[in-house]
A and B are shown apart, each in its own frame.
Chain A
Amino acid sequence: MRKPFLRPLAAAALLPAALLTACGGQDGGNASAGAGGNDGNTIKVGILHSLSGTMAISEVTVKNSESLATDEINARGGLLGKRLQPIVEDGASDWPTFAQKAQKLIRKDRVATVFGGWTSASRKAMLPVFERNKALLWYPVQYEGLESSPYIFYTGATTNQQIVPGLDYLKEKDKKRIYLVGSDYVFPRTANKIIKAYAQANGMQILGEEYTPLGHTEYSTLVNKIGEAKPDAVFNTLNGDSNVAFFKQLRSAGFDAGRLPVMSVSVAEEEVKGIGVQNIAGHPVAWNYYQTTGGRANEAFVRAFQARHRGAVTSDPMEAGYNAVHLWAEAVRRAGTTDVEAVKKAAAGLSLDLPEGRVTIDGATQHVHKTARIGVVQPDGLIKEVWSSREPIRPDPYLRSYPWAAGLSS
């Protein structure tokens, strides 16, 4: 018997392909629109964050602050006499999706630039797409350094603006026996490599180095191990939900911030809410911006953000995303065009007063000069600055100016 299933399938087969072809026609029309997102009365910009999946809780807040910035620019008359039109895409906490959506924003929507990403994995996945298409990505989150792409601007901290000052602070407080705890992925592993090199050169001792999978929530064994090692402090590079379990179990084992301070680099105002203030109050964190940071620019930013999102907090990555939009817009204004190479040129050395203070783009690395700030989590959930580098630190993603880091970026 000939298989009867083939006959009805012919019809079913033709339908989707016909659909695809039909949609293809439309795309073709769009693709011929003006290059550089500069189309009639609007300039298209892409916003690409995870709006679903595990990273959504963090990334949606950055999307919101970036939308705030584009709306501010539009409210002040737009850019080059045109309105900014943000095109929001969902990276879905999935790295290949980030690459695919970046491709779509660049090739189909022809956006002038993209603001997006959070995890290093998503940035690494998008990097080749932006480099090959010679398009611009603004990446707003602190990361592990050792990278400098000509088509990415990094508005979050690199290691010498966050991790190294965090270590300087611990050293200053005479916390010299350190235990390392991190999630198992590229940022913690690379950060810990740097920490170990720093420790060796600065007479600090690393008592242990432990990684747990992303989303891990069972920390009693690890807390016991830490208890036995008796460190002066823990350096924590855990990400996401794991922090909730870790801090809870640490506290129930009797370790409070006075006895064993835990320095975190991935816990900001937003995460403090999730962890529960009672579990983390008194512990230090290292960032470049807090909601409590002084200055008129920050007051305006916090007020504007809270006017849209009632009761929301503002955090470092949100501020860095907000900064990215304003820095790009200023570079476009100076260049007089959205052309990528012209914008890159105009961005080098550009300086703006932003919520965290004076921010200057370093042309050579396309990172920004940032002030390092160590804060302590307060009982009200906000973070109070207790130490700062006073002036912005020059970005050094490959740690070339630190002799102890010589072997790291070979």
Chain B
Amino acid sequence: MSARLRGHAPFAAVAVLLLVVAPLALPAFRLDELAKYLCFAIAALGIGLAWGQGGMLTLGQGVFFGLGGYATAMYLKLHDAGGDLPDFMVWSGVEELPALWRPFGAAGFALAAVVAVPVAVVLGALVFRQRVRGAYFAILTQALAAAFVILLVGQQGLTGGTNGLTNFYDVFGRDPEAEGTQRTLYFVTAGVLGALYLGARQLVRSRFGRLLVAVRDGEDRVRFLGYNPATVKTVTFAVSAGMAGLAGALFVPVVGIISPSLLGVVPSLELVVAVAVGGRYALAGAVLGAIVMNYAKTSFSEQWAGGWLYLEGALFVLVMTLAPRGAAGLYEQARDALARRRGTPAPAARPREAAT
């Protein structure tokens, strides 16, 4: 088998599994859940790019997930209301449609997917130009997630408050609970994930990708070579935010709700934990981490209500201490260990753990 073919075989296998095997084997209810995991996987892919490749530990992806999700939900709500006020505004005492909602009446969905990108560009430009990085960047993004939730909860008339936005009767002309709709949404989500994965892989393999890794492992050296690390990081951060936004936009029709509890500090952290467990240095590790962790969360909480958080925490600690490169890094880790035992030097070009 040529090296080129071998590179594509795993992707093809996963594609077949997701697009052919799963829809045939899973009952509608489980397929619906898998679609939800795939939404999280899209957001995780973005984190894999920003954190694994770019060394930007972003603890606030929930913000961008939320921007995409709320934009879609606002569009769906306005569509359902058909000229009237959305239901939650009526009981929140709002009398006329707020200006913020107007643009979502028509081109809402188009806006939904991209609304996160300009926000990330502005934020990234401000932050990276000031050379905010490492723990400071992580804290900043986490604070942003916390602030975003407070804003959403406080503006009940505008955002539905803690309830969030839910109860959509019409998702692009279809009944959201019908099995056909759920199936279509699943395929759309899987398709988007596949396309974004290929795109991200291309990005990582390109010159830009190498520059990004160089910025991660030695930002100052890259600067001395005449590149501007701030630009590289801003672009990557914006791409990663765009993925989170798209994930949120898909999540709303798939699950049928968006609320502040989906995008605060804890869900943002859970995404990062999933990426770490799956393996942050491999894009596929991030994707699979998100799918497996969310699947485990569902099945575990069905068996042992309330115990999942402990297991998740324990798993994270275990992975961080025993396999810092995550599940996807196990193969390399085993190879290194074997090489060390044989007394041959381990292959170089290993990511620096301290960089993040």
**A interface residues (Cβ-Cβ under 8 A, vs B):** 2-10, 12-14, 16-21, 23-25, 27-28, 31, 51-52, 56, 88-90, 92-96, 99-100, 103-104, 107-108, 119-121, 124-125, 127-129, 132-133, 144, 146, 184-186, 189-190, 193, 211, 213-214, 409-410
Contacts and interface: CB of A to CB of B under 8 A. Distances in A.
Given A92-B306, A144-B91, A13 B26 contact: no
A129 B38 CA distance: 21
Interface in B4-48: 4, 6-7, 9-11, 13-14, 17-18, 21-22, 25-30, 32-34, 36
A121 B164 contact: yes
Interface string B173-189: 00111000000000000
B163 A14 contact: no
Nearest to A88: B305
A389 to B, nearest CB: 25
B315 interface: no
Interface stretch (B225-233, B241-249, B284-292): B284-292
A133 B177 contact: yes
Contacts of A14: 13-14, 17
Contact of A52 (B88, B262, B305, B331): B305
A189 B305 contact: no
Contacts of B90: 409-410
Interface of B: 3-4, 6-7, 9-11, 13-14, 17-18, 21-22, 25-30, 32-34, 36, 88, 90-93, 150, 153-154, 156, 161-164, 166-168, 175-177, 201, 204-205, 255-257, 259, 261-262, 279, 281-282, 284-285, 288, 291-292, 295, 298-299, 301-302, 305-306, 309, 327-332
Contact of A9 (B10, B156, B163, B177): B10
Interface centre among B6, B11, B91, B329 (most CB of A within 10 A): B91
16 contacts: A8-B332, A9-B282, A10-B14, A12-B328, A20-B22, A25-B25, A27-B26, A27-B29, A52-B309, A90-B301, A96-B259, A128-B177, A185-B153, A186-B156, A186-B161, A186-B162
Contacts of A108: 27, 29
Given A17-B22, A184-B154, A104 B302 contact: yes
A14 B262 CA distance: 28
A124 B166 contact: yes
A17 B153 contact: no
A190 B89 CA distance: 11
B171 to A, nearest CB: 11
B6 A7 contact: yes
Contacts, number: 202
Nearest to A89: B305
Contact of B162 (A9, A12, A121, A409): A121
A410 B201 CA distance: 53
A213 B154 contact: yes
B9 A10 contact: yes
Contacts of B295: 16, 19-20
Contact of A189 (B9, B13, B93, B167): B93
Contacts of A146: 91
Nearest to B306: A52
A121 B262 CA distance: 13
B14 A17 contact: yes
A5 B349 CA distance: 13
A21 B305 contact: no
Given A13-B284, A95-B259, A213-B154, A185 B161 contact: yes
A8 B330 CA distance: 8
B29 A132 contact: no
Given A3-B7, A12-B327, A52-B309, 6 more contacts: A6-B7, A9-B10, A12-B284, A99-B257, A125-B164, A185-B156
A7 B10 contact: yes
Given A21-B22, A186-B91, A213-B154, A125 B257 contact: yes
Contacts of B161: 121, 184-186, 189
Contacts of A119: 162
B13 A121 contact: no
Contacts of B33: 100
A127 B87 CA distance: 13
Nearest to B166: A125
A129 B257 CA distance: 11
Contacts of A185: 153, 156, 161-163
B332 A104 contact: no
A185 B201 CA distance: 43
Given A8-B330, A27-B27, A128 B18 contact: no
B177 to A, nearest CB: 4
Contacts of B92: 186, 189-190
